[in-house]
Structures are given as structure tokens and as C-alpha cells.
């Protein structure tokens, strides 16, 4: 009986999740380009924000990492894909000043937390060191 309830709760939670932004935003990708080297250096391959009410999910080579959405920042949902050769971004809207400030607030924390996670994962994988 508890397994059925858990499955139902998980199904409902997935159905209630906000949709990811789907409009390609090359201007947002261009703004994020300034941070591309830092993001690649720690292995971040994707940043996903559903807006101010949720954590920002970072897909990394060591697995997912989460950082808090900046307090007081405008509610913006976006996805930034970071590949070895470039960046792609999607969001419902683009506002240069707002998005620039948001990236400036998120990226340093994302890099710091991901670097710490990478070290933790390395220590876990190499306990003899």
C-alpha cells in the first residue's frame, strides 16, 4: 500500500512542475558567454532555473548540484546549455539588464559550490589520498 501512495505522489509532483522555457534566446547565450570559461572549468554543462521560487539546478560532470536563487532577483526561468564549443540559452523573455544581473549573481556561487562538490566527489572516489 505505501508503495502505491509513493508512486502517486511522485507522479503528481512531476505533473505540477513548472515547464522549462522553450524560446531560444541567443542574446542570453551571448551574455552567458562571458562566464563560459568559468563554467566549463568546473564542469558545469547546464544551468536550469524555474524562477525565484526554486533552486537553480546545475548539471555537472560529477552529477547535479543546486544553488539558491538569488534573494530579491526578478523571477526568471531559463536554461543555459554549456558545451565545449559554445552556449545555447532558452527563456520565455529576454531583458538584458535583468538577465545580466541575474547571471552575475548566480554564476560565482554556482562555480564555488560546484568546485567544492568536485573536490568532495574526488575525495570520495580516492579515499586513500
**Domain housing 55:** 21-125
> What single DSSP character describes residue 84?
S
Question: How many domains, in total, are found in the chain?
Answer: 1
| 16, part of any domain | no
pLDDT one-digit tens code per residue, 64-76: 999 999 988 888 9
| Mean pLDDT, rounded, for 48-63 | 91
| 2, part of any domain | no
The alpha carbon dihedral of 73, 26, 79, 123 has a sign of: negative
| 78, part of any domain | yes
Cβ–Cβ < 8 Å for 108, 37:
no
pTM here is 0.79
Q: How far, in Å, CA of 22 to CA of 78, rounded? A: 9
- Estimate to the nearest angstrom the gap between the alpha carbon of 46 and the chain centroid: 6
| 7, part of any domain | no
User: Among the listed ranges 56-65, 66-75, 119-128, which one has the minimum average pLDDT value?
Assistant: 119-128
Amino acid at each position: 500500500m505505501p508503495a502505491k501512495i509513493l508512486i502517486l505522489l511522485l507522479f503528481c509532483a512531476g505533473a505540477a512542475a513548472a515547464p522549462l522555457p522553450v524560446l531560444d534566446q541567443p542574446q542570453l547565450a551571448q551574455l552567458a558567454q562571458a562566464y563560459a570559461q568559468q563554467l566549463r572549468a568546473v564542469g558545469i554543462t547546464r544551468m536550469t532555473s524555474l524562477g525565484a521560487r526554486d533552486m537553480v539546478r546545475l548539471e555537472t560532470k560529477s552529477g547535479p548540484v543546486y544553488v539558491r536563487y538569488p534573494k530579491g532577483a526578478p523571477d526568471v526561468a531559463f536554461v543555459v546549455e554549456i558545451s565545449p564549443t559554445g552556449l545555447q540559452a532558452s527563456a520565455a523573455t529576454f531583458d538584458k539588464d535583468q538577465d545580466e544581473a541575474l547571471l552575475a549573481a548566480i554564476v560565482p556561487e554556482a562555480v564555488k559550490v560546484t568546485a567544492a562538490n568536485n573536490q568532495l566527489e574526488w575525495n570520495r572516489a580516492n579515499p586513500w589520498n
